[in-house]
Amino acid sequence: MAVELRAQLEAGCAELGLSLSEQQIQQLMDYLALLAKWNKVYNLTALRDTAQMLSKHLLDSLALLPYLDAESLLDVGTGAGLPGIPVAICRPKMAITLLDSNAKKTRFLQQVKAELKLQNVTVVHGRVEQVTLPKFAIITARAFASVGDIIDLAGRHCDDAGKLVLMKGVYPEQELQEAGPGFSLQAVTAINVPFCEGQRHLVTLIKD
């Protein structure tokens, strides 16, 4: 099973145009194994099938990499570390903060950080509207809240001229119409995730 999963991961990375080292591939596989193991007790994700976790979580997160070009990133409502952990593995020079209000999930993230020796990761347990954090060049979120809510809750953590890079399913036309001030829409990009059906869109907003 592990051999098949690794082959699927490598094929997915090739399709995304990603060139990863042997160590990075192994770290992604180790993360997947930890996710599957801890999920049985901690209910980190609704997915139970490891192959689905690989496509709908890992490859889905890796599809963001071409759009993340900064020194610091805050992953809001990171949950099991998505997209933050895969990004941290592939961008070792990027300082990545993983924020979640669920203590079980942040305990899991501390374990992942330790086992995978991710020096560029900081795990924070708290609510995005309450925590005190430095400013970040990029804030990302995946299945966390509407575009407007993310602007309201997380916008203050964004650096001047920083970006929100938000993962959505279908084109979020209604959400974009209802989004408040403070950020301007830069792009909505349709992305193809290997071995995944359904639409995926990346919403990029620039801080005014």
What is the tens place of the pLDDT at every residue in 75-120?
999 999 999 999 999 999 999 999 999 999 999 999 999 999 999 9
| Residues 54-66: tens digit of each pLDDT | 888 999 999 999 9
Mean pLDDT by 10 residues, the chain (208 residues): 91 96 97 88 77 88 95 96 97 98 96 97 97 97 90 95 94 91 95 92 96
Contacts of 190 by beta carbon, 8 Å cutoff, 6+ apart = 171, 199, 200, 201
The rounded mean pLDDT for the chain is 93
Q: Can you give the pLDDT at residue 15?
A: 96
Which residue stretches of the chain are H helix?
2-16, 22-42, 50-53, 60-62, 84-90, 103-116, 147-154, 173-178
